[in-house]
Amino acid sequence: MTVEMTEDELNARHAEKMRKKKVVRDKILASKNVEKGLLIVHTGKGKGKSTAAFGMAFRSLGHGLPVAVVQFVKGAMDTGERMALERFGDLVSINRLGEGFTWETQDRQRDIAAAQHAWETAKELIRSGEYHLVVLDELNIVLRYDYLPLAEVIAFLTDEKPADVHVVITGRNAPDALIEIADLVTEMELIKHPFRSGVKAQKGIEF
């Protein structure tokens, strides 16, 4: 049996449904009262992992809150993002410390040394407590290649990260141990990609 509703009935039903929804939402929101620096992980094969992390950086900067970025894979951050971040001057600390993509360097020892140097810098920036948000861009990649001891990274993030510092870690294949200790984990899943139809990387979109 189909019941046809008039516009007025539709509107009235909508108003009632939304009134109830608001009551539920307000109740849920009121129960959330913990403030803490979050450990956030963006992983998965889809796009947007680093882009969303940098989006969070811009959000903090918009509030006038300082941000640090450590790049574990040089060349992974595009020039557009870097130039936009640099607009915020002293509020931002950009550290491009990793080596290039592994298939560019083809040199394991150099990659390991660069990853370790980047990690030392990341620890200093996080420990300093001077940054509201620290982005560890593509850290998952160097963890995947065992260029850093995973246990040490997990121990540092668990025991030494100041309580009010937010840390965002990006890259495919986030290790299970990292997901385990994270507060917020999002997996970017690829549904459709223009590369499949021969479209090349374009300025302001891919880099």
Q: State the number of binding residues for a copy of itself (CB under 8 A).
A: 84
What does the DSSP 8-state code read for residue 173? S
Site for a copy of itself in 77-106 (CB under 8 A): 78-85, 87-88, 102-106
In angstroms, give the least distance from the CB of 121 to a copy of itself: 22
CB 105 within 8 A of CB 111: yes
Considering only the stretches 68-76, 113-121, 151-159, 188-196, report the one whose residues sit in contact with a copy of itself under the rule CB under 8 A: 188-196
188 sits near a copy of itself (criterion: CB under 8 A): yes
For a copy of itself, the binding residue among 129, 149, 162, 194 (CB under 8 A) is 194
Let me know the angle formed at the C-alpha of 169 by 80 and 180, rounded to the nearest 5 degrees.
Answer: 160
Counting Cα atoms < 13 Å in the Cβ hemisphere of 142 gives 32
Which tokens in the block code for residue 23?
Answer: 């009551």
For a copy of itself, the binding residue among 70, 135, 166, 167 (CB under 8 A) is 166
Task: Give dist(CA 186, CA 49) in Å, integer.
Answer: 9
36 sits near a copy of itself (criterion: CB under 8 A): yes
